[in-house]
Structure 1
Amino acid sequence: MLEKVLSSYGVLPEEIHVYGNGLINDTWKIRSSERTYLLQRINDCVFKEPAKIDNNIRLIGRWLADKHPHYSFIQPIMSHSGEAIVHYPDYGYFRLFPFVEDSFAYDVVQSPAQAYEAARQFGLFARTLKDLPVRKLKTTLPCFHDLGARFEKFRNAIKNGNALRITECSEIICFLRAHAHIVETFNNLKIEGGMKLRATHHDTKISNVLFDQNGKGICVIDLDTLMPGYFISDVGDMIRTYVSPVSEEEKDYSRIEIREEYFKAIVDGYLEQMGSELSATELNQFVYSGLFMTYMQALRFLTDYLEDDSYYGASFEKQNYMRALNQATLLRKLLEKEAWMRAAVWNREAGGVRQEAGDLRREAAKPGRPKVRKSGRRV
């Protein structure tokens, strides 16, 4: 099968190995006599219109080549017929990328420095695309991070789901209902228009950043979920997946904690690139973004459990219930730290304002320089 697919690109493989541990798409590392590639099969049960992914990646590629030619962007390789995605009815949808030699991806955040660098890369990506006509991007996953829609699906599962499981989950159901204000905040932000619609990655886990041998970020990868969205999706998913020392699969909930130095690293890395681009309203929602994404993931896991694991599936009994409890625990921890996190963001921004003002004053004091007014950012 794979040999036939690769022939569409004129590639004669010498070695083929399964690559990575992605849950959605299948990926293989291909070695030929000329170079190394990554071949990926798009899961069209999840991404029902792969052409929309292709549209977005082509649009981004053209934009970056024209406006930011020095930005590292991994372009898909065109087939002999000039297509980025090839389709075989019996096998599915495939695409081919060049393999970036001497690059590394990680499944777990290993240090605050790594969290900072990943956040900086996602911030750089967002800033580089800030003037992209976002309406030209296609929505590859409808309602993916629409918390209002996710909450309605959760309510429907409580009404129509597995009755035994609904009874079993009564405590966490009550907890999530008690924090429905997180949904209300999201709905109000959309109505009030305080957040800018941006080109948003939507999947900012550490494994979607390539690093070089010195630990510096090269670029972000996996752009299937790139589509119009809000910055809270990208920042929130970093908070959700970087600040705790354990993943959403951890069953010992006592190990879940908020590592302050990792949160600060996210703040510093992302705002270094995007601090001047975010509005006052957006900056005020930096901490909320972590609550937003963690609450939504708890909803999604529990909804799936109540609907007999129809979306995520389960490799063992109660896996999605345990995942939901994990994320609910993380949400509790974030809520306990909310005031501290807000202060950390404010202190970072206030420090930046003081530094900027000092720089301006020193510049203005130089002979022959016109005086300038002090400037600052709102938080």
Structure 2
Amino acid sequence: MGLNLADEVLEAYGYAKENITITQIGTGLINRTYLLSPFAEEHKYILQNINSEVFTSPQTIASNLRAIADYLSFAYPDYLFIKPVATTEGEEMAYIQHEYWRMLPFVPNTISLDVLADPKQAYEAAKQFGKLSRLLDNFDAGSLQPTIPGFHDLSLRYEQFNEALNQANDGLKHEAAAQIENAINHRYILDYYISYTHRKDFPNRVMHHDTKISNVLLDNESYEGICVIDLDTIMPGKFISDLGDMMRTYLCAYSENETDLTKIKIRLPYFEATIKGYLAEMKSILTETEKELILFSGKYIIYMQALRFLTDFLNGNKYYPTDYPTQNLDRAKNQFKLLYEIAINEKELQNIIEDNLV
């Protein structure tokens, strides 16, 4: 962060570079994040630049968070919901040199993990995401606006895949032939989802939409869940968005960047912990249709992510950062392998779900 820009951003919150330490933190690919440590205060803060290429309407994020924070402070005043610190002018964001910034309170004695090392961590994270949705069960999800329109819309993602396929050159299509076939053969996942959308007991809820482990704060000693963070994508959606993304990111010991597909396996203890944690909060409010779709949520999100990686490869790697030309194709292979692992373990996975719905 350039010093001139830093000066202006800090001034918006009443600080100057002479009385504060700035440290870049975080591993996210979307927003730049910094830890602010004022010399004269006990409290620390998180300063974050909002990527307006991804979030084209940062004001929508602020509006959504304000509405949710107001509701939770009234209905559940003891719940820790991390809302932005106001600027000196009372704004929820600072707009400096065509960039949006926000400051958040730093929560002491907590840790944010990049990698799961124990099923207990999966349980605590799933429980926290479930808790937020449960507390917002009576909140009007329709009052929120999408911060990324179509983010988890599988119909849109399949349409984008078809568009990329139609315009891609023959070389790319030849290189990706096996994964293109995979994408088309799994289209039944989209058809299955569509068959459920008419059901009245498949409601829109307030969903986080990005439930990777790094978006939960855990106690740095006990690893007990403390709260959910990184709320840019909180918006209306189906429960499958959150639970499915947990399955996609918690169940395998390796990320989508792993190219040795023999390593892409489902860890049953992590699946069981995720289901236990989520249902500990959500079982009482899930509808019968939602209960039917618990395992399907993993298929839905994993297939969507495979499509997105494949689409980006066919488009010439324009969206996801890559380290080599075929990385997005390798990521798609990885996700289709994970989808296969769900399929071959389906009976055992469904039994775990049934046991935890009793």
Q: Do these two structures clear the TM 0.5 threshold for a shared fold by scoring above it? A: yes
Residue deviations 1:156-187, cap 9 Å, x none? Answer: 11111233111111111111211111011121
**Residue 101 (structure 1) aligned to one of 99, 105, 108:** 108
Match of 1:270 in 2: 278
Report deviation, 1:288: 0.2
1:12 corresponds to: 16
**Aligned with residue 257 of structure 1, among 265, 289, 302:** 265
> Identity, % of aligned pairs?
41
Structure 1 residues not aligned, in runs of 5+: 351-379
Shift in Å at residue 191 of structure 1?
2.8
1:231 has 2:239 as partner: yes
Distance in 2, matches of 1:299 and 1:170, equals 13
Matched with 1:65 is: 73
* Local SS of the residue matching 1:271: helix
Query: What is the correspondence of 1:1-379 to structure 2 with a 5 Å cutoff?
Result: 1-13=5-17, 14-33=20-39, 34=41, 35-90=43-98, 92-212=99-219, 213-350=221-358
* Deviation for aligned residue 1:313: 3.2
Q: Indicate conservation of the 8 Å contact 1:162/1:307, yes or no.
A: no
Query: Whole-Å Cα distance in 2 between the matches of residues 17 and 189 of structure 1?
Result: 47
Instruction: Give the AA of the match of 1:29.
Output: L
> Cα deviations across residues 227-270 of structure 1 (Å, max 9, x unaligned)?
00000000000001001011111111111101111111111100
Is the 8 Å Cα contact of residues 209 and 220 (structure 1) preserved in structure 2?
A: yes
CA positional deviation for 1:219: 0.3
In the TM superposition, residue 6 of structure 1 has moved relative to its aligned partner by 1.1
Instruction: Give the C-alpha shift of residue 11 in structure 1.
Output: 2.0
The residue matched to 1:39 in structure 2 has which SS? strand
For residues 247-297 of structure 1, give each alpha carbon's deviation from its aligned partner in whole angstroms, at most 9, with x where no partner exists.
111111111101111111111100011001001110110000000000000
User: SS of the counterpart of 1:191?
Assistant: coil
Give the gaps of 5 or more residues in structure 2.
Answer: none
TM-score of the superposition, structure 2-length normalised? 0.96
Q: Deviations over 1:333-364 (max 9, x none)?
A: 111111211111112223xxxxxxxxxxxxxx
Write out per-residue CA displacement over residues 180-227 of structure 1, whole angstroms, 9 at most, x where no aligned residue: 110111212223344110000000000000011211011000110000
Q: Map Cα deviations across residues 91-126 of structure 1 (whole Å, 9 max, x no partner).
A: x10000111111100001111111011111111111
Distance 2:356 2:280 in 1: 10
Q: Which structure 1 residue ranges, 4+ long, deviate > 6 Å from structure 2?
A: none
Larger Rg: 1
Deviation at 1:3, TM superposition (A): 2.0
Question: Aligned AA for 1:18?
Answer: Q
Q: Displacement, 1:5?
A: 0.4
Amino acid at match of 2:100: Y
Mapped to 1, the partners of 2:109 and 2:239 lie a distance apart of: 30
| Contact residue 8 and residue 96 of structure 2 kept, 8 A | no
Q: Which amino acid aligns with 1:185?
A: Y
Alpha-carbon distance in 2 for matches of 1:310, 1:231: 29
Q: Give the alignment's TM-score, normalised by structure 1.
A: 0.90
Question: Which residue type is aligned with residue 77 of structure 2?
Answer: P
Q: Is the 8 A contact 2:93 2:102 kept in 1?
A: yes
Does the CA-based 8 Å contact 1:114-1:215 persist in structure 2? yes
What is the rounded CA distance, in whole Å, between the counterparts of 2:259 and 2:200 in structure 1?
A: 39
Q: Which amino acid aligns with 2:262?
A: S
RMSD (CA atoms): 1.0
Which deviates more, 74-83 or 310-319?
310-319
Question: Could you tell me how far apart the structure 2 residues matched to 1:63 and 1:162 are?
Answer: 51
Aligned AA (1:3): D
1:162–1:308 Cα contact (<8 Å) kept = no
Aligned residues: 349
